[in-house]
Amino acid sequence: MAGIKDNDGPEDLASLAELMQAPEHAPVATGSLAEGEATPKITRMPEGIEVVERRLGHATAQWVLQVHCECGRRWFEMDAVEAAQCPRCGLLVLVKIEPQ
């Protein structure tokens, strides 16, 4: 039976205890950050670990319903409609939402 082994990793990986240990001369921030205060930059990491800082942006999104009439016409609805009128054949169609 297959299982997950705990100590299967490479021998040269630092242990969690070593990673969590702050060097004695490194500044250690305590307490929580005030609103709007920037997080301190990471200045030191254990050897072999690369840290890349990137700007995090924001995006907006909407779910769009693609409706496919039995006549072959496709169109989009911005809301989860139960029924719609086909713009091509004029048929009132019940919309069954299929799982992805």
Q: Which residues bind Zn ion (CB under 5 A)?
A: 69, 71, 73, 86, 88-89
Measured distance CA(56)–CA(43) in Å, rounded: 20
CB atoms within 10 A of CB 58: 4
In whole angstroms, the minimum distance from the beta carbon of 79 to Zn ion comes to 19
Q: Which is nearer to Zn ion, 14 or 81 (CB)?
A: 81
Q: Is the dihedral of CA 12, 18, 24, 27 positive or negative?
A: positive
Q: Which is nearer to Zn ion, 27 or 76 (CB)?
A: 76
Decide: 39 and 31 in contact? Cβ < 8 Å: no
In whole angstroms, the minimum distance from the beta carbon of 62 to Zn ion comes to 24
In whole angstroms, the minimum distance from the beta carbon of 66 to Zn ion comes to 14
Helix (H) or strand (E) holding 67: strand 65-68
Q: Which is nearer to Zn ion, 89 or 97 (CB)?
A: 89
